[in-house]
Amino acid sequence: MNPENEFREGLTDLATHYKSILTLLGEDPQREGLEKTPMRVAKAMQVLTRGYTQDPQQVLTDALFQEDYNQMVIVKDIDVFSLCEHHLLPFYGKCHVAYIPNGYITGLSKIARVVDIFSHRLQVQERLTQQIKECIQATLRPQGVMVVIEAKHMCMQMRGVEKQNSITTTSDFSGVFNDLNTRQEFMSLLRGESKRI
């Protein structure tokens, strides 16, 4: 889906529901500033959830190369923007992915695309971390995968406890990353060079 000009089925129905939501919130959806808002929001929501129509495993296999390399490959500081499924508010931050190949590598940009696809679905950070790891493990069949996500959640900043500076960190790993020394190698590289959100 090209988010600039292609939208999924149900766009008009989605806009109709957003018009009703504006009314229920006490607004007048006919006033000048809101007249086009329902359709704008419907289009935005389809863009923000475009991951449902994309296949992350296909993305990885489209750029799969046989390579005799068995050291750690790290893609750091991948921007993450997602919607928390509990309040439909954004959470955002950085994702760091490492894998140790087992005969095959993939294009580096494909790792970022996998992160993008899973983050463009309604999510919780814990599941997002796990899905990225499982997809890479199942598709590339490397010696191991590790994923770390650091994110700020608008549901904590704008509502509820209203804590502005808290960062949530999640991690998941498989294979050789079950070894503490391998995990520590990855984490030390992140601590040394990873940028703050």
* Residues labelled as active-site residues: 84-87, 125, 153, 155
Report helix angle 37-48 to 11-24, nearest 10.
120
Spatial distance between the Cα atoms of 131 and 30, rounded to a whole number of angstroms: 42
Strand order in the sheet with 144-153: 122-123, 73-84, 90-100, 144-153, 168-173
Backbone angles phi, psi at 90, to 5 degrees: -70, 150
Residue whose tokens read 């899973």: 118
